[in-house]
Chain A
């Protein structure tokens, strides 16, 4: 790890001010990706602006039509929240299978989304639930947030403060895990808003995306067989040691089918 200056602002305003002064500074949320990269000397920010003392980013509010989660809420808190479990149980269970126990107790929603790892779990839910990403400057629709590999709509210094998830009629997330990292090789989040269905896929492409054919078929009939025969194209899907594009394409269908089955239970 290279040397850096450490800052611990106590409110959003201070954090933003620091970020505007430090060109090569980075926000530190849960640190589960950034700190690893720094330890491997792959990332060398001059300044770390630690968000962990900012109470405003830690709110969690579950209402009948929406669940709003502060950017610094940890995965384990989402998984354990009775409000989230009641309103969107699929979101709570997704949070409960991110990474490992240590990651879940440090990693945060805002950190995960800002990092936009192609195999992260949350992006699938954000897309499928049509969530709104709230920043210090604006509100960003889910469909406009994920731009590509580790790339988001966030501008320089822009800080996610919270994410608001509309409550669906039913939803479920199915994840096929990488046996080593436990990231998603393919994860599919299916959300039924009563006639309108959204399907978010993570792990398979450069960043999370929606699967239009499946959404259409499920809107017509929300049942496993609606997606079971949909063949996803392998073009453009990720290829690595663990899964070829063809295998990932196949897994999208399998995971979507299982997510629908789970949502109907």
Chain B
């Protein structure tokens, strides 16, 4: 018998490895005969490639090969596919221009790969790459998504630079509600483009074995099976069974490592050409220009209210910047994962959202922590707070007036919320944040020359993206289930294989807690394996806060099969009817007797089947399960942010941040808190410091940490956290997911607080000191 582990603050099993430098990341993988790749990247945002002179590079010491787009085209290497087909307002498929791994004829953003040099050492590859001369004819570039439509075409397939115009909702009904509204609140804003900056840069190391006619690719990926599927089936045309993809320890992703990237394709292809392992690891500068960016929406949003502050309708028009090419899931982020969240926590009966997605001469944009949902939350929560101020209503009160209170709740934007209790988190956060004492704190701040402001955000998110058939009907080109396998060893210890992937989330601990708790085993008897297509049966990977809700459920379903088989074995051993066998925390018992067999004894019997019903039951104790969720999960929460603005400099300090989240059942509160801390820091980063900026020619101005400010410890306060719990109704653990919540809710809370402090309607993100100072200067 063991103590319950679900809900326990178990120290992370993986931390010893990480903290002692014993992790094994892709760049740590050194293979016999290792060769190294260096990419030549475009210095221009938009240019025709007139000529590439390779002679000097080819003659450079220790160079093994130099390849360009022409070589890949000759070898019939395909372009990178997009995993989600969006159908536009006219019923036409979105424009899908080719995305060649190495540029063909034209470059379309700074940092695009033009050539690759492979050499005996990294330094030699880089030296040779410098010798490649590319003759460019520079073309006019466009970076502003709003100007994309009138700009010179980036792709032949999209003459007006539009990928699609997509809409959701009943426009006529929404317009009708606006015409009759007592009050309309309108905001125009930009959801600023962000650069992900995982601590481990992207890396790939591919090798080919002639003996096995197979490839192995080590890659910093969040979803190795998806990487393999896309690469083999769509790009290289290889048999999937001959490609092994390993995502070993991965140092963070935030979405940026979901995608199939050109570098992964090129090193894999080159490994066979050269019969040598080829490794590439991004330098930080390369990460800035080539990892998929996030957000970048330009939005006009309007909320119609009756005279009491009841929401009547919401109307949203967004131009979404997709960058120069369609990254793997780019198309579904500003549509399926954005417009469907616009009901928020409210009963707004009518919602219409129209999205124009455009190509620009910038790095491709795709999912980044939250992916569509932070943008939706920002729209809703900035509008709600602004409406309250305009109508002189209490911002908490206006939210309460409109909360959804009956579940399940069908929103007007496709989603059906299974459960929630928004009042509970709002009540809790207001108490913890001492909203009642704010007025006094504001006066105290003023005596120090500081303007104090308070802002709310009540967010909703849809996690555990699913079900596959619904996603498929919306354009998904992949399934969205998860797979898990429980392998019980003869001595009763357990190895768990999950298709989910951990790159900082702590799966090795959380998933082991679930398994050890369910089986009643000590946690050290359970190990989690992930990230290797040759070990794990299948997997869709980790993104969208889906790991515990979808991956965890697949494991639980496999566990159920283990216990079911164990009961059969125990029934035989105990000479009892199967129906009389109970399983309780590590022990199979005959109900109402003291006859019992431990889990270990049953496992041993399964593998040494001397006394075993071989006529009825296979030996062994190994089960797998695939789980396709019935619905999304809907974590929600209420945040209160309090800021002080320095009147002299415009600098904003977040003096308090209180977050009360409802993640359903929580497996490990310590890990959940860590996820919330990180998410909040990233959300605060978006609001205060992070803003990717291009100049008008398409040069990335914020191309290094000297100019792109990710928040540091000193930029965030000591967070005050708590949780409330409404268990998810459609998965056995009652879990919802927590990875993105902080990043989803924080930007609106921070900006609501700053605008409150300044008494202004709106302010662009990031609200840097200069931005705030200018706003005060203008107001003065």
- At the interface, yes or no: A13 with Cβ under 8 Å from chain B? no
- At the interface, yes or no: B30 with Cβ under 8 Å from chain A? no
- At the interface, yes or no: B130 with Cβ under 8 Å from chain A? yes
Cβ < 8 Å to B, chain A residues 214-265: 240-244, 247, 250-251, 254
Among candidates B649, B701, B705, B706, residue contacting A251 with C-beta atoms closer than 8 Å: B649
Q: Once the chains bind, are B689 and A2 in contact (CB under 8 Å)?
A: no
B240 → chain A closest CB, angstroms: 40
Cβ < 8 Å to B, chain A residues 12-48: 40-41
Residues of B within 8 A of A181 (CB): 705-707
Q: Once the chains bind, are A179 and B127 in contact (CB under 8 Å)?
A: no
Residues of B within 8 A of A40 (CB): 285
Residues of B within 8 A of A41 (CB): 126, 130
Among candidates A176, A179, A240, A247, residue contacting B689 with C-beta atoms closer than 8 Å: A179
Binary flags per residue of B740-780, CB closer than 8 Å to A gives 1, else 0: 00000000000000000000000000001110011000000
Residues of B within 8 A of A247 (CB): 770, 773-774
Provide the bound-state CA to CA distance between A242 and B651, in Å. 12
Binary flags per residue of B518-533, CB closer than 8 Å to A gives 1, else 0: 0000000000000000
Provide the bound-state CA to CA distance between A213 and B306, in Å. 58
A257 → chain B closest CB, angstroms: 8
Residues of B within 8 A of A179 (CB): 688-689, 709, 715, 768-769
Q: Once the chains bind, are A254 and B702 in contact (CB under 8 Å)?
A: no
Residue of B nearest to A179 (CB): B709
Among candidates A176, A241, A244, A250, residue contacting B701 with C-beta atoms closer than 8 Å: A241
Residue of A nearest to B708 (CB): A180
Residues of B within 8 A of A250 (CB): 773
Provide the bound-state CA to CA distance between A183 and B769, in Å. 15
Provide the bound-state CA to CA distance between A178 and B693, in Å. 16
Apart from A41-B126, A176-B769, A178-B709: 4 A-B pairs, beta carbons within 8 A = A179-B769, A180-B708, A247-B774, A254-B649
For this complex, 9 residue pairs linking A to B, each with C-beta atoms less than 8 Å apart, are A40-B285, A179-B769, A180-B709, A181-B705, A241-B702, A242-B707, A242-B768, A247-B770, A254-B648
Q: Once the chains bind, are B123 and A180 in contact (CB under 8 Å)?
A: no
- At the interface, yes or no: A1 with Cβ under 8 Å from chain B? yes
Knowing A2-B127, A40-B285, A181-B707 are in contact, say whether A176-B649 is a contact too (CB < 8 A): yes
Cβ < 8 Å to B, chain A residues 153-189: 176, 178-181, 183
Residues of B within 8 A of A2 (CB): 127
Cβ < 8 Å to B, chain A residues 125-161: none
Binary flags per residue of B692-726, CB closer than 8 Å to A gives 1, else 0: 01000000011001111100000100000000000
Residues of A within 8 A of B285 (CB): 40
Interface size class of chain A, counting residues whose CB lies under 8 Å from the partner chain: 20 to 34
Interface size class of chain B, counting residues whose CB lies under 8 Å from the partner chain: 20 to 34
Q: Once the chains bind, are A244 and B709 in contact (CB under 8 Å)?
A: no
Residues of A within 8 A of B705 (CB): 180-181
Provide the bound-state CA to CA distance between A179 and B691, in Å. 12
A179 → chain B closest CB, angstroms: 4
Residues of A within 8 A of B689 (CB): 179-180
Provide the bound-state CA to CA distance between A242 and B285, in Å. 20
Residues of A within 8 A of B126 (CB): 41
B681 → chain A closest CB, angstroms: 14
What's the dominant secondary structure at chain A's contact region?
A: loop
Residue of A nearest to B773 (CB): A247
Residue of B nearest to A1 (CB): B123
Provide the bound-state CA to CA distance between A108 and B693, in Å. 33
By Cβ-Cβ distance, the 6 closest A-B pairs, closest first, are A180-B709, A179-B709, A181-B706, A254-B648, A179-B689, A247-B770
Knowing A2-B127, A247-B770 are in contact, say whether A241-B707 is a contact too (CB < 8 A): yes
B651 → chain A closest CB, angstroms: 8
Residue of B nearest to A257 (CB): B648
Provide the bound-state CA to CA distance between A153 and B651, in Å. 36
Cβ < 8 Å to B, chain A residues 40-70: 40-41
Residues of B within 8 A of A183 (CB): 706
Provide the bound-state CA to CA distance between A41 and B130, in Å. 10
Residue of B nearest to A2 (CB): B127
Provide the bound-state CA to CA distance between A254 and B770, in Å. 14
Residues of A within 8 A of B688 (CB): 179
Residues of B within 8 A of A176 (CB): 649, 651, 769
Residue of A nearest to B705 (CB): A180
Cβ < 8 Å to A, chain B residues 79-135: 123, 126-127, 130
A152 → chain B closest CB, angstroms: 22
Residues of A within 8 A of B123 (CB): 1, 3
Q: Find the residue from B649, B705, B768 having the highest chain A CB count within 10 A.
A: B649
Residues of B within 8 A of A178 (CB): 706, 709
Provide the bound-state CA to CA distance between A244 and B773, in Å. 11
Residues of A within 8 A of B770 (CB): 242-244, 247
Provide the bound-state CA to CA distance between A6 and B715, in Å. 40
Among candidates B649, B707, B769, B773, residue contacting A180 with C-beta atoms closer than 8 Å: B707
Provide the bound-state CA to CA distance between A226 and B560, in Å. 78
Residues of A within 8 A of B768 (CB): 179, 242
Cβ < 8 Å to A, chain B residues 290-321: none
Residues of B within 8 A of A3 (CB): 123
Binary flags per residue of B660-697, CB closer than 8 Å to A gives 1, else 0: 00000000000000000000000000001100010000
Residues of A within 8 A of B715 (CB): 179
Q: Once the chains bind, are B693 and A241 in contact (CB under 8 Å)?
A: yes
Provide the bound-state CA to CA distance between A65 and B202, in Å. 55
Residues of B within 8 A of A243 (CB): 770
Provide the bound-state CA to CA distance between A244 and B650, in Å. 14
Provide the bound-state CA to CA distance between A242 and B648, in Å. 16
Among candidates A1, A180, A244, residue contacting B706 with C-beta atoms closer than 8 Å: A180
Binary flags per residue of B340-359, CB closer than 8 Å to A gives 1, else 0: 00000000000000000000
B186 → chain A closest CB, angstroms: 29
A234 → chain B closest CB, angstroms: 13
Residue of B nearest to A244 (CB): B770
Residue of B nearest to A250 (CB): B773
B695 → chain A closest CB, angstroms: 10
Provide the bound-state CA to CA distance between A40 and B705, in Å. 13
Residues of B within 8 A of A251 (CB): 649
Residue of B nearest to A240 (CB): B707
Residue of A nearest to B130 (CB): A41
Provide the bound-state CA to CA distance between A69 and B770, in Å. 36
Provide the bound-state CA to CA distance between A199 and B635, in Å. 55
Binary flags per residue of B434-445, CB closer than 8 Å to A gives 1, else 0: 000000000000
Provide the bound-state CA to CA distance between A179 and B285, in Å. 19
B663 → chain A closest CB, angstroms: 31
A161 → chain B closest CB, angstroms: 30
Provide the bound-state CA to CA distance between A191 and B412, in Å. 66
Provide the bound-state CA to CA distance between A118 and B720, in Å. 40
Residue of B nearest to A247 (CB): B770
Cβ < 8 Å to A, chain B residues 352-402: none
Provide the bound-state CA to CA distance between A247 and B774, in Å. 8
A228 → chain B closest CB, angstroms: 10
